[in-house]
Amino acid sequence: MQTNKLARPWHCGIYSAGKTTEWMPTDTKESFENLVQDPVHYKYFKEQGWLEPQAITYQINKEGFRCEDFVEGEPCLVVLGCSYTMGIGLPLTDLWATKVGAALGLNVYNLAWGGNSSDTCFRLARYWIPRLKPQIVCMLAPPRSRIEIVTMNGTEPPAEVFMPMSRSSLYNKDDVFLKHWFGNEENQYINQDKNMLAIESIARTSNAKYAGLQADYEAACSRDIVGYARDYMHTGPVGHTMIADKLLAMIS
């Protein structure tokens, strides 16, 4: 069998590799302290157990992902996505990935990170799926309005995700490529579909089942339905349960 000789892909989580922290953008201490001044948020956070010290922590493995260190060859579930899948503002136990893994009896290797695009997911999948050889691959696709571009050799970071209101120093709204890409929404749909189909192909080539959903729809659901995370921006525990149920139904 031909081995995967791709270089280990860079991603933003590498900067946090091997670290454990209580806060992450957009889940900051300042945001939390402001929110708990509101009795409604205070009550909700108390019900969730998030007022306790270190109720939510982010333990990042040596590869820069929010999960245990990888053991190649053991039965596992690989998940891909952005901050929704990484679980910004939530404890690990509330994440859809954790729920799917528990239902299937598989260790969870969470390759998601905040700000990822579907392009990022593809780069990570192309390298890690053939190595980890998961039984299942699940993807909650990041918002389709994001596109990742590999930057010039020797620059830092070596790849950046752009979106219509990007604040990157490399972003130029007059750039012809980006102007046309963001100017026609069809580009976003095509790019998302290409990446999801490619990741499905990688999964099936590695003899893994695949299930994928779009984060755009899930993120748009009312907070009254899905709840909210500690940062008041991301889907809450109920929303993650809904996502897990949908993915499990697709896998079965």
Residue 8 lies in a domain: no
pLDDT confidence tier of residue 1, bands split at 50, 70 and 90: very low
Mean per-residue pLDDT, 230-236: 95
Residue 38 lies in a domain: yes
Whole-number Å distance between alpha carbons of 179 and 56: 40
Number of domains in the chain: 1
Whole-number Å distance between alpha carbons of 183 and 56: 39
Residue 7 lies in a domain: no
Residue 27 lies in a domain: yes
pLDDT confidence tier of residue 4, bands split at 50, 70 and 90: low
Q: State which residues form the domain around 22.
A: 13-251
Q: What is the pLDDT of residue 103?
A: 98
Q: pLDDT by residue (tens digit) across 100-122?
A: 999 999 999 999 999 999 999 99
Residue 135 lies in a domain: yes
Q: Residue 250 pLDDT > 50, yes or no?
A: yes
Q: pLDDT by residue (tens digit) across 139-186?
A: 999 999 999 998 877 778 899 898 877 666 667 767 888 888 888 999
Mean per-residue pLDDT, 66-94: 97
pLDDT confidence tier of residue 91, bands split at 50, 70 and 90: very high
pLDDT confidence tier of residue 216, bands split at 50, 70 and 90: low
Q: What is the CATH number of the domain that holds 80?
A: 3.40.50
Kindly report the average pLDDT of the chain as a whole number. Answer: 92
- % of the chain beyond a pLDDT of 90: 78
Provide the greatest CA pair distance for the chain.
60
Q: pLDDT by residue (tens digit) across 35-74?
A: 999 999 999 999 999 999 999 999 999 999 999 999 998 9
Residue 6 lies in a domain: no
Residue 211 lies in a domain: yes
